[in-house]
Amino acid sequence: MTEEEVACLGKTRFLTRRAAKRRANQIRREGGPAMRPYDCDFCPHFHVGHRPGQATYMRHGIPLQETQP
């Protein structure tokens, strides 16, 4: 899995930072992890995540994509 796949391709794209921030707030309200919007390095859009280019879940040794065959 490349950095681009982790940071961009596997994520929802938002046209504006405001839209991404709204989604991040919604996730937080629903009891999800603290997320923040970021300007993507790989596409002209925004995503919601922990940090740009950093796959937090990979630290636990469980790549998200590989949990589903």
Question: What does the binding site for Zn ion look like in residue numbers (CB under 5 A)?
Answer: 8, 40, 42-43
CA distance 51 to 3: 12
The angle subtended at Cα 40 by Cα 35 and Cα 46, nearest 5°, is: 60
Q: Residue 8 or 24: which CB sits closer to Zn ion?
A: 8
CA distance 34 to 54: 14
Minimal distance, residue 12 CB to Zn ion, in Å: 10
Minimal distance, residue 39 CB to Zn ion, in Å: 9
Minimal distance, residue 69 CB to Zn ion, in Å: 25
